[in-house]
Amino acid sequence: MKLDDATFRLLRRLAPVLDDVLNAGEVEHADQAVDLSSLAQLCSQLFDAYHDHHPSEIAQARLDALESQ
């Protein structure tokens, strides 16, 4: 699934906050929490869009994840 330019730019802008949180092992600032919320919403939207076009692949990926646990 190709991302449109606006979504790609937003994802690129938000991705570093996840890296910061992972490196620190904590959410240190309110702006990080807000950005994480925005990132989560964007990821959810991307998942929904992908799922709409590839439901069987998502189902298989979920099965594979369950089997690997």
pTM of the predicted model, to two decimals? Answer: 0.83
Average pLDDT over residues 2-11: 96
Q: Which tens digit of pLDDT belongs to each residue from 32-68?
A: 999 999 999 999 999 999 999 999 999 999 999 999 9
> Per the structure, how many domains does the chain have?
1
- What is the per-residue pLDDT for 26? 96
Instruction: Provide the b/e sequence for 15-41 (b: ≥16 CB within 10 Å).
Output: eebeebbeeeeeeeeeebeebbeebee
Q: Residues in the chain, how many?
A: 69
For residue 10, the enclosing domain spans: 5-68
Q: Band the pLDDT of 23: cuts 50, 70, 90.
A: very high
C-alpha 64/C-alpha 19 separation (Å) is 27
C-alpha 57/C-alpha 60 separation (Å) is 5
- What is the per-residue pLDDT for 34? 97
Can you list the alpha helix ranges (DSSP code H) found in 3-54? Answer: 5-24, 30-53
